[in-house]
Amino acid sequence: MLLHPNDKPRPFAEAIHIDDDDDDQGTYWTPAAPMTVSEAHPNLKAQLPPRLVFQRIRLMTACAYDVASGGPVGYFEIALDPDNERACGVFRTIFEGEDITSMPVWFPCENDAELAIDKVFRIAQADGWVL
């Protein structure tokens, strides 16, 4: 493996998640990264509380890719509410030129963005949005 002098090796398992059921099918995603309110889909923003109690909610996103083709399939967007130990998430994609999301879903979550992304993935997978 060739590395730039400033690069550090990073285990593959830390970089992405691959569905273990089938090596050539499924969805993987990047680590969760912060997102601004203006970047969030309106369906997720509609689930957020009024601005006065919004300060501690963290918005995060992860890019999702198809394992077989390596092509992008959309984004997982989440709002983490650490005070109430819950999160809301959607899967966001472009379908026939339209920016759409899965139904926003609230679920228990301990302020862990990666666990929340995994939960949204499993919900989106069960609903047929991703493999």
For residue 57, give both structure tokens: 């909610």
What gap in Å lies between CA 86 and CA 83, rounded to an integer?
A: 8
pTM: 0.78
Q: Is residue 3 scored above 50 in pLDDT?
A: no
Q: What is the per-residue pLDDT across 19-47, written as a single tens digit (0 to 9) for each?
A: 455 567 899 999 999 999 899 999 999 99
Q: What is the per-residue pLDDT across 77-111, written as a single tens digit (0 to 9) for each?
A: 999 998 889 999 999 999 999 999 999 999 999 88
Q: What is the pLDDT of residue 25?
A: 86
**Residue 11 pLDDT grade (very low, low, confident, very high; cuts 50, 70, 90):** very low
Q: What is the pLDDT of residue 64?
A: 96
